[in-house]
Structure 1
Amino acid sequence: MDMRALGIDPGTGTFDLAVVDGERVVYEDSLPAAVVAEDPERLVRAIEASRADVIAAPSGYGVPFTWASDVRDPLRFTYEVLLLSTREQVAKASGELGVKVYEALALVVSQLVKADVRAVFVPSVILLRTVPAYRKYNKVDMGTADKLASALIAVHGLARRKGVRPSEVSAVVLELGFGYNSAISVLRGRVVDGIGGTYASFGPLTAGSLDLEVVVGAPFWSRFDVYKGGLAEVCGTYDLREAERRYEAGEEPCASAYRAWLEGVLKDVARASVPIGREVDTVVLNGRYSGLRSLREALREAMPDIEVVEGSRLPGSSVTKEASQGYAAMAAHAAGGGEGLLEEVMRVADIDSACGTVADYVVHPAAVPLRERVRRAYVESVARPKLCP
């Protein structure tokens, strides 16, 4: 059956929209995040122009498949479940990087919930039953919804390229975005682990994984400090390509900061390889900065026996990245309209079994209130919550 499925990837740098029909991109658009933040109606108009039959809505940190018609309180659902924030936190942080994007997302989600459209919110890595519980303790971000979407497109691309079934694909999928990195572990077509942006090493914007002594030593943390403390603080630029140029020219201190980012990515790949074991034979590079020459060279030098390839987007794509296309594929699957090899990827990945909230495995006593707040918000803002057994 023909089904136009729209995926919306709310990236830190751009909002990408891709409509997938079957296994081909038939419509796409890309809006600067700053433009969407200032004028959310631009995104609404782009959604309308897509003429989609089903929409994968921006899903932030992820939820089990949830249809917009089941969302009772769209603002609470967006802020507390999808964005792990509160309206009060966002209001207090006026002027911070990302605040207007959060507000724009809340507005768009509210409109999708109120409108007579088929829109679905999709899972992230930590919600998958294919990821063992013992890998989830004290983690929230093992790969947000967009990172999972990107990984699924990577599996599709590898299966097509190698002429194998999705169940025969084992790889580490690196997503190199404007603000964050992630490394997703895929074993026989299933995601079994993930290192998400705020847990990964030193990032372009984010500090990434922090020494707990830094955490307890700082007198105050803002919700939006997750956007700070990374390479941009040292280099004074948000452009990773410019940072690479300074690294190659030996311009300090940016050269050392870029080296920290580069080595951190290598360490994340090494960590993500552990759950796959000897079956890992490929590293897939996805995202805005997947073409960096220095990264490719470093990976090939550090892992000479593993093939390093750039991710392949769906046919018909020229503007959007992998994440929006993966979002669209998940929407088509949820609506029963997926087709071909792409639908097989969704079935093998067992994304339908996703359950619970992203904070369910937080056990640190100081963070238990976070776990309880997120779980309560999910149960109270959704008509049919899907908690884990």
Structure 2
Amino acid sequence: MSRILAINPGSTSTKIAVFDDDREIFRHEITYRGADFAGMDRITDQLPRREADIEAALAGTFDPGSFDAVVGRGGLVGPVGPGGYEVDDDFLDVITNRPVLEHASNLGGPLAKALVTKFGVPGAHAYIYDPVTVDEMSDAARITGVAGIERKSIGHHLNMRAVARKLADAIDTPYEEASEIIVHLGGGSTACAISSGRMVDFVSDDEIMFSAERSGGVPIKELIALAGSMPLAELKSAVRGGGGLAGLLGTTDLREIESRIGAGDERAALVFEALALGIAKTIAALAASLKGEVDAIALTGGMARSELLLAAVRERAGWIAPIHAFGGEFEMEALALGARRIVLGKERAHHVRDYLRTTHD
């Protein structure tokens, strides 16, 4: 039996879970308010507080030497391949001193390293798995019409790859042979095209569909004009955090929007239709990257729980391939099972230093 501790740090919480093989036996969420991190200018300043809180949550239930591995949600370590990465000195140097962006997920690796030292069996390792910067896009998919600007693969890779495996099982096709489109619908929405186990194209949350809090793609000429009429901070808020459903309807709760539609709110109904249309357009765009050969499509994330939205997307994109729903997220399970595959020797752990060597040669 392998026992794995999974750690998923978010901006206002730290989620932890323990798995015995593929069975979850413990879950706990530590929540935070802004005041808890007052005066901490960098994400890494939060490490001592979060580490102590995890130790307190485990104390009395799990003793030192309990875990065969500890795995954290991967941070922004630069474009890397999929799978697991050992949290070694090179990784800690990159995530601490030169991350792609400041983000709560940057804490996952350092927390895993600290906890495996205190709670791991002798020789146990710390890992991250499928970080948000996994990049397998084809060269053609990267190119835009502006020299010096390339499309990037930054998003919900951990959950989307986990759902891709579930979808492959659902259609009785090996993941390594499946041709799939996965759409993650949440505060920010991203999507990918998977061919034979590889994400050959990726749609970021600022490209096509809008989401609960993000604008998605907008006309560039209009955006340039808007940028000249407001401070940069306000513009950022308009497209990230205050965009999407938040800006259009004043709420990010799809259940509330559906209730308003049921009460006859025509504006809510129109925005809901536009939301479904954007998702369908995203699916169609990714189908082009797969040359129309799509075995199945999956919607995941919080909004994928909506039967009304699922029906609306099926109406517009169901002709491409069968559309399945996997509501919610499977990040804790994906972390633990990924680390378990490494512990069992079914996958090899990668090293960030190999990525550094490749990109700087």
Aligned to 1:119: 126
User: Where does structure 2 lack aligned partners over 5 or more consecutive residues?
Assistant: 37-48, 144-148
Kindly indicate whether residue 95 of structure 2 is the aligned counterpart of residue 77 of structure 1: yes
Aligned to 1:239: 253
Name the amino acid aligned to 2:24: V
2:358 partner SS: coil
Name the amino acid aligned to 1:307: P
Name the amino acid aligned to 1:174: V
Aligned equivalent of 2:137, options 124, 131, 135: 131
Cα distance in 1, alignment partners of residues 335 and 168 from structure 2 = 18
Aligned to 2:86: 67
Kindly indicate whether residue 329 of structure 2 is the aligned counterpart of residue 321 of structure 1: yes
Aligned to 1:168: 177
Aligned equivalent of 2:189, options 181, 186, 190: 181
Aligned to 1:315: none
Structure with the higher strand share, 1 or 2:
2
1:154 partner SS: helix
Asked if the contact 2:77/2:95 (under 8 Å) is kept, the reply is no
Asked if the contact 2:280/2:313 (under 8 Å) is kept, the reply is yes
Cα distance in 1, alignment partners of residues 196 and 355 from structure 2 = 31
Aligned to 2:199: 191
User: Where does structure 1 lack aligned partners over 5 or more consecutive residues?
Assistant: 86-101, 313-319, 356-381
Cα offset for 1:73? 5.7
Higher relative contact order (CA 8 A, sep 6+): 1
CA gap 1:150/1:265 in 2 versus in 1, 3 angstroms: same
Partner deviation per Cα, 1:219-265 (whole Å, 9 max, x = no partner): 54349633232211232223122123223434254433333322211
CA gap 1:122/1:301 in 2 versus in 1, 3 angstroms: same
Aligned equivalent of 1:27, options 25, 28, 43: 25
State the number of aligned residues.
320
2:315 partner SS: helix
Asked if the contact 2:68/2:343 (under 8 Å) is kept, the reply is no
Cα distance in 2, alignment partners of residues 227 and 66 from structure 1 = 30
Aligned to 1:283: 297
Which residues of 2 match residues 229-308 of structure 1 at below 5 A?
229-305=243-319, 306-308=321-323
Aligned to 2:153: 142
CA gap 1:331/1:224 in 2 versus in 1, 3 angstroms: farther
Cα offset for 1:195? 1.0
Name the amino acid aligned to 2:172: G
Cα distance in 1, alignment partners of residues 55 and 244 from structure 2 = 32
Cα distance in 1, alignment partners of residues 285 and 31 from structure 2 = 31
Partner deviation per Cα, 1:26-75 (whole Å, 9 max, x = no partner): 2353537656984745455457767543233232445445433324766x
Partner deviation per Cα, 1:168-200 (whole Å, 9 max, x = no partner): 3221111112x1111111112222111122334
Structure with greater Cα Rg: 2
Kindly indicate whether residue 3 of structure 2 is the aligned counterpart of residue 4 of structure 1: yes
Asked if the contact 1:18/1:25 (under 8 Å) is kept, the reply is no
CA gap 1:150/1:167 in 2 versus in 1, 3 angstroms: same
Asked if the contact 1:141/1:199 (under 8 Å) is kept, the reply is no
* Identical columns (%): 21
CA gap 1:60/1:243 in 2 versus in 1, 3 angstroms: farther
1:311 partner SS: strand
Cα distance in 2, alignment partners of residues 295 and 142 from structure 1 = 26
